[in-house]
Amino acid sequence: PGGAPLFDLAQLHAETKGTVRVPVQNLKTDVTEWYNVTATRAGSQVIYHAVDINAVIQAEIAQRNFVQTLAKTFAQLSIGLAIFDRNGQLALFNPALVDLTSLPAEFLSGRPDLLSFFDRLRDNRVMPEPKNYSSWRQEITDMIAAASHGSYQETWTLDTGHTYRVSGRPHPDGAVAFLIEDITAEISLTRNFRAELELGQSLMDTFEDALAVFSSAGVLTFCNAAYRGMWKMDPDNSFADVTIVDCIKEWQAHTRPDPAWADMRDFVMRLGERAVWETDVHHLERGSYVVQLSPIASGATVVRFSETSVPAQVPARA
């Protein structure tokens, strides 16, 4: 009583809102305190009551700082990120999204809804063109529903030659996040690697000798057409890994008994330095073969079956 009023009543009276937030400077602690002040008319009088909301203000500041920290972190990502709130409006995005989608930052800052966002992606040819435009909205709705349950992931191959991996993830409180990643280089590398493998396979298939490559763990990683024909084996049709033990069982079934098979298994599984080693075996249908085992990179082994050349018999002189 008798002191200065805690709140500026003239300012509060001028406010049109029923409840306003009011900061008050505490002169003793030099700390700003916050109150929700509500004006209630009772006849010709106005009654004001205030509620301490310092905890709410602190929570909002912490949330704002957290969002700013996330935004700085997301700004460093090369993956485009778009987070939509529970109302389906864009709440957060990073610079990579602008780069990958070519969507104007002004449009994204305007907080478009999900359908508007994907409509603009289609207009910018950042989405595959729908085969049936009339069902476009339904497809987008299904995509959003799938992302809300964490089950949406798709690869978009664009007319520009780029390939994007797009995934949708649900977030707490009904929010949804979409991630867009440019995997063009990865896809190109995979295609080139596959082409090189096919070229290597085609080249090895031209060899008359049967070839098989085993890893350091004794797993068959490669064989050519001559090998498949000689041993009646097709490892590509096997669900499990084919090992040197499996192969030796097949080799033994088609050859005369020979103690060298056990030595071959030990050679393939042996670690450390190894020298090229060879031995002779006799195939029950094809005759004699020279088996050569050669160590190669990463502890792998090439097993090569070469048909033995039988010299022509020269008639004895009378």
For the residues of 32-46, what is the DSSP string, one character each? EEEEEEEEEEETTEE
| Mean per-residue pLDDT, 153-163 | 86
d(CA 132, CA 251) in angstroms, rounded, equals: 57
Residue 222 tokens, joined: 């490669």
* Residue type at position 136: W
- Output 266 or 195, whichever has higher pLDDT: 266
Could you tell me how far CA 115 lies from the centroid of its own chain?
Answer: 25
In a domain, 84, yes or no: yes
In a domain, 66, yes or no: no
Q: What pLDDT digit, counting tens, does each position of 237-296 carry? A: 777 789 999 999 999 999 999 889 989 999 999 988 899 999 999 999 999 999 999 999
Instruction: Examine the domain organization and report whether 214 and 269 are in the same domain.
Output: yes
Instruction: Examine the domain organization and report whether 215 and 163 are in the same domain.
Output: no
Give the pLDDT band (50/70/90) at residue 19. Answer: confident
- Output 191 or 210, whichever has higher pLDDT: 210
Q: What pLDDT digit, counting tens, does each position of 124-144 carry? A: 888 887 666 567 677 777 877
pLDDT of residue 317: 47
Instruction: Examine the domain organization and report whether 20 and 112 are in the same domain.
Output: no
Instruction: Examine the domain organization and report whether 79 and 167 are in the same domain.
Output: yes
pLDDT of residue 6: 67
Report residue 106: phi and psi, to 5°.
Answer: -65, -40
In a domain, 19, yes or no: yes
In a domain, 63, yes or no: no
* Residue type at position 73: T
pLDDT of residue 153: 85
d(CA 114, CA 272) in angstroms, rounded, equals: 59
- Is 1's pLDDT higher than 80? no
In a domain, 198, yes or no: no
pLDDT of residue 304: 94
| Mean per-residue pLDDT, 113-134 | 81
| Mean per-residue pLDDT, 304-308 | 91
- Is 2's pLDDT higher than 70? no
d(CA 220, CA 244) in angstroms, rounded, equals: 7
Give the pLDDT band (50/70/90) at residue 315. Answer: very low
**Total structural domains within the chain:** 3
* Residue type at position 139: E
Instruction: Examine the domain organization and report whether 100 and 152 are in the same domain.
Output: yes
d(CA 305, CA 283) in angstroms, rounded, equals: 10
pTM equals: 0.49
d(CA 200, CA 194) in angstroms, rounded, equals: 10
Q: What pLDDT digit, counting tens, does each position of 199-219 carry? A: 878 888 889 999 999 999 999
pLDDT of residue 312: 40
Find the DSSP H helices in the chain.
9-14, 54-75, 95-101, 105-109, 114-123, 136-148, 184-205, 225-231, 244-253, 260-269
d(CA 170, CA 146) in angstroms, rounded, equals: 9
In a domain, 188, yes or no: no
Q: Tell me which residue range forms the domain holding 110.
A: 73-182
pLDDT of residue 219: 93
| Mean per-residue pLDDT, 47-62 | 83
Instruction: Examine the domain organization and report whether 172 and 220 are in the same domain.
Output: no
Instruction: Examine the domain organization and report whether 40 and 78 are in the same domain.
Output: no
Which residue in 78, 100, 233 sits closest to 162, CA to CA?
100
What 3-state class would DSSP assign to 50?
A: strand
- Is 39's pLDDT higher than 80? no
Indicate which CATH number applies to the domain containing 155: 3.30.450.20
Give the pLDDT band (50/70/90) at residue 10. Answer: low
- Output 49 or 295, whichever has higher pLDDT: 295
- Is 72's pLDDT higher than 50? yes
pLDDT of residue 213: 93
Give the pLDDT band (50/70/90) at residue 45. Answer: confident
Instruction: Examine the domain organization and report whether 171 and 262 are in the same domain.
Output: no
